[in-house]
Structure 1
Amino acid sequence: MLEFASLLKIKREFASGGTCLPITNTQWRKGAFRLPAQLAKVDRTDGEGGLCEAIFLAWKSLASAPSPIKHLYSLVPESDILGAASSCDVQLSSFGLAFDGCETDADLVRKIGGCLRALETEFSTFHLGSWRSDPNEWKVGKDTAHFIPLGRLGWRPTKDPTQDRRPFDQRGLLRVRLIPTIVDGATVRLERPDHLLSPASVNFGAVLFPGAQFRSQETVTSFFIEGIDLPKGRSIIAKACEEAHSQGCRAVVFPELTIDHGSRDLIQQQLRKKPWAKGAPPPSPHFVVAGSWHQFEGSARYNVATVFDGHGIQLFTQRKRLIFKDPKGRVEDIHPGNEFVVLIMGDALYAFGICLDFCNRCYDTAYGELDVDFVIVPSCGNATTMSSHIETAKDVDLRRKTRTFVVQQAYPDIPRAAGFVLKPDGRPGVNPPKKLQVAKSWTIFRP
């Protein structure tokens, strides 16, 4: 049996990181009262870095609170948070946060929330908009969280502060993001292209392949996709790449397990050469998810999605994390990935998942831990698969107002449709899967 001192050490290690052991309301109150002393120890000579650390400490205090306490934030209007922020002088010791020891839980939540807002405002005033060359270097909390100086998307409507009672995960931070560096046991890696993007890009493009035929290699216990036949596949790919430009797309998504190496090379070639362009081409899409494919990386097979920018430059790959099991009990013959990629693109953050990564309903979704604007999901499956995507999309919408874009190739075939598309419009529960069926190879949607 572990000794008490060892247990206490483990507890402190968890509490200092991005993941915390469960704590009682009383334990949280004791930790909250220690927060001013923790803030007073922040190294102010580090300039902007000191502000980032202070923001992290205040954020973690509320983010790790038991739900009854954290819920109190949703009972405090933004006008009260702003009032508490105005009385918090961040130039003082402990960044202006002070308690008299008689505060109720609601008082603590309001004061810490106000301090957090004041710190965030100070940072946005101090910060000049510059980024380090590698965004993964900007970490806080002893490298337990990524600090991202990017606020919320403009499509989120401005609310009257007296009426704004959104929960902490939607309103605790408004000008910056904090994302744990480890989520659900996987490393979170940031990607940020260094070239400018067209602010006019709005649409999301979905590509499906009518009549696609999968060729699989199967055993009694496992399977993998070794080939696919795509009727008119080359023309569909070429047309999608052209339309992605002409229709001003932010994102274009091809579905899971439809893009083999030849199709992936064709997508990249089309994006690079833009053979349809006459004179100056229209703005390129922000990024293109070239579906996914069962492929070897080293000695192991993975289900891999490749993401290009609008000029055909490969930005990164995302490996599927959860292994699929078909109705006959055969297991997808792949190794699981162990990384989440968050793409910082223009005015928004994007996370990615491949089919089961997002739609598995056996566990709380890891995507709720990622404070992003959109989750992008290439998928392959039936109406039940899409039903599960819808439920997870409802979860992340409820928690963070994160929008989800799922492009799902139908498997097995369904009458008069090539697949399903879940629009990134913030209304994931409005339509059942049958009404999300899409027959066309190319469709666009607005968030």
Structure 2
Amino acid sequence: MDSRAKTSAFDAWKKGARELSDRQELITNASRDELRKALIELDTLFRNAPGSVHKAYRNLTEKRIEEARESFAGSIGDGHLSWSLSDETPELAASMMGGLIREIDRVLAERRSRWPIAPSEWHVEQLGCWFIPRQGVSALRPARRLQAYSKRGLLFHRILPSVIQGYPVHVVDTRTLHTTASDASKWKMGACLFKALELKPEFFSVAGDKRFRIARVEAPSAEDAIAEQIAEALKENCIAAVWPELTVSPELREKIVGFIRDRDVTDELEAPEILIPGTWHEETDHGTVNRARIYDGYGEERLSYDKIAPYADEGWGMENITAGDRICVLATEGALIGVAICLDFCDVCQTPFSELDVDVMLVPSMGNDRTMQGHQTTAAQVEVRFGTRSFVVQHPTETTFTDHRIGTILPLLKEPNAISPRELGQKTVWAAYKWLS
């Protein structure tokens, strides 16, 4: 883009900003809902800013943004939304808008005791978004220079679109009293695998196209494994435990959940806040789905998520499933957590998860090293854009690894591509992974 085109884009954006400021200036004693609407509108405006503004924001120090924020403290505190853009450069526009957004974000958080926003109010349908209060400045996203607006624009709230790439976003409040829940930097994630597990697919043809579904699995030591896995998850104080895609039958899933539900009430060990006992091919009124059921630390099902992108290869053909039609997010005290299944979170296809601003992605998967490389690529993309950390628990398809691993785990890495899939191998049925800086 040449300099004239850049100037034209910036001027057009400033024109839209002035129109918004004229409307907001009419607000003289802003209520909670008016401030929330104003913040959502300003966030949308900034995200749609030309590249020159976003580049300028990346270069701003936190001190500069805080100084701009403080300049609005009096007016915003009094409920006046008075601001304007005229002859500012991209740098000055980024600083001023960034400070304005931060101050409204702060005021809404500071007045939360008077102006609570209940989970039933998170979905702001008329503005096409979810507006989710956070418990405080996330330990996962320490704001600093050279970060994009998408990482540090707001500190006390998260704004998610209602729809991403045509998929509705569904957010579920999943808050418990887990001692590590409020500080995800102390989290441990449990990866649960099975030895000598063998998939038993059934094959058929649809319009001449070979299809498959998993009828059952054989895993002779599965029950012993899940007893060990749950015991270790409690001992390690894990916040989540995840099993791979298509490895946990409904019967085995009930046993996993039963271990949590039937615990002694006097047991001082804490159950994981989130359990994802793999996925399974389930029959519904709309056909077969590849479904993950997500449970809380009490063994209660919080939501279910259906895989969007079917698996396919030359040997088995295509996975015979009806594609899922929504994106699911769990809102815990410490983080927003997205759930995807295998190819949904892979660079081999366009994925809505590359646009989902969450702190953590949990991904049950099945595949080979190329599949894991795809996960690593997507994980790197969302880390750069949002600061998201990804936890992928993958069982091999028909591959037998010469290094004796029984699965491959992508832990919560800041640089997911910095290590080879071979080095991500796990040779035991259980391992806990810490949050890594």
CA-based RMSD:
2.2
Q: Which residue number corresponds to residue 429 of structure 1?
A: 417
Query: How far apart are the structure 1 equivalents of 2:251 and 2:409?
Result: 24
- Contact 2:354–2:378 (8 Å) recurs in 1: no
Q: 2:343 aligns with which of 343, 350, 356?
A: 356
Any idea what SS the aligned residue of 2:341 has? coil
TM-score (norm 1): 0.87
- Contact 2:35–2:108 (8 Å) recurs in 1: yes
1:70 deviates by: 2.1
| 1:293-304 correspondence to structure 2 within 5 Å | 293-304=280-291
> Which amino acid in the other structure matches residue 231 of structure 1?
P
Q: Which residue number corresponds to residue 197 of structure 1?
A: 178
Any idea what SS the aligned residue of 2:126 has? coil
Q: Which residue number corresponds to residue 5 of structure 1?
A: none
Any idea what SS the aligned residue of 1:414 has? coil
Q: Which residue number corresponds to residue 59 of structure 2?
A: 75
Kindly, what percent of the aligned residue pairs are identical? 28
How has the CA–CA distance of structure 1 residues 346 and 253 changed in structure 2, closer, same or farther, with 3 Å as cutoff? same
Structure 1 residue ranges without an equivalent (≥5): 1-22
| 1:180-259 correspondence to structure 2 within 5 Å | 180-193=161-174, 195-199=176-180, 202-219=187-204, 220-259=209-248
Any idea what SS the aligned residue of 1:96 has? coil
Query: How far apart are the structure 2 equivalents of 1:281 and 1:30?
Result: 60
- Contact 1:254–1:290 (8 Å) recurs in 2: yes
1:327 deviates by: 3.0
Q: Which residue number corresponds to residue 438 of structure 1?
A: 426
1:38 deviates by: 2.9
| 1:7-26 correspondence to structure 2 within 5 Å | 24-26=9-11
How has the CA–CA distance of structure 1 residues 87 and 248 changed in structure 2, closer, same or farther, with 3 Å as cutoff? same
Q: Which residue number corresponds to residue 282 of structure 1?
A: 269
Any idea what SS the aligned residue of 1:221 has? strand
More off after superposition, 321-330 vs 340-349: 321-330
Tell me the alpha carbon deviations over residues 199-221 of structure 1, each in whole angstroms, 9 at most, x when there is no partner. Answer: 37721000011211001111352
- Does 2:52 align with 1:63? no
Q: Which residue number corresponds to residue 154 of structure 1?
A: 139
Q: Which residue number corresponds to residue 129 of structure 2?
A: 145
> Which amino acid in the other structure matches residue 115 of structure 1?
L
Any idea what SS the aligned residue of 1:142 has? helix
More off after superposition, 340-349 vs 328-337: 328-337
How has the CA–CA distance of structure 1 residues 379 and 130 changed in structure 2, closer, same or farther, with 3 Å as cutoff? farther
Q: 1:410 aligns with which of 378, 396, 400?
A: 396
> Which amino acid in the other structure matches residue 345 of structure 2?
F
1:78 deviates by: 1.8
- Contact 1:39–1:57 (8 Å) recurs in 2: no
- Contact 1:56–1:140 (8 Å) recurs in 2: no
Tell me the alpha carbon deviations over residues 265-302 of structure 1, each in whole angstroms, 9 at most, x when there is no partner. Answer: 1111111012xx59424011111001000111224110
Query: How far apart are the structure 2 equivalents of 1:278 and 1:127?
Result: 34
How has the CA–CA distance of structure 1 residues 68 and 361 changed in structure 2, closer, same or farther, with 3 Å as cutoff? farther
- Contact 1:199–1:346 (8 Å) recurs in 2: no
- Contact 2:28–2:80 (8 Å) recurs in 1: no
Tell me the alpha carbon deviations over residues 17-73 of structure 1, each in whole angstroms, 9 at most, x when there is no partner. Answer: xxxxxx94443221122221232355956x222211111111111112233332221
Query: How far apart are the structure 2 equivalents of 1:131 and 1:428?
Result: 37
TM-score (norm 2): 0.89
- Contact 1:179–1:369 (8 Å) recurs in 2: no
More off after superposition, 321-330 vs 348-357: 321-330
- Does 2:157 align with 1:170? no
Aligned residues: 415
1:181 deviates by: 0.8
| 4+ long deviations beyond 6 Å | none
Structure 2 residue ranges without an equivalent (≥5): 1-7
- Contact 2:389–2:414 (8 Å) recurs in 1: yes
Any idea what SS the aligned residue of 2:396 has? strand
1:157 deviates by: 4.3
- Does 2:382 align with 1:401? no
Any idea what SS the aligned residue of 2:312 has? coil
Query: How far apart are the structure 2 equivalents of 1:131 and 1:225?
Result: 46
Q: Which residue number corresponds to residue 5 of structure 2?
A: none
How has the CA–CA distance of structure 1 residues 361 and 299 changed in structure 2, closer, same or farther, with 3 Å as cutoff? closer
More off after superposition, 107-116 vs 386-395: 107-116
Q: Which residue number corresponds to residue 365 of structure 2?
A: 379
How has the CA–CA distance of structure 1 residues 129 and 237 changed in structure 2, closer, same or farther, with 3 Å as cutoff? farther
Tell me the alpha carbon deviations over residues 352-404 of structure 1, each in whole angstroms, 9 at most, x when there is no partner. Answer: 100000013332x4223222110010000000000010011100111111100
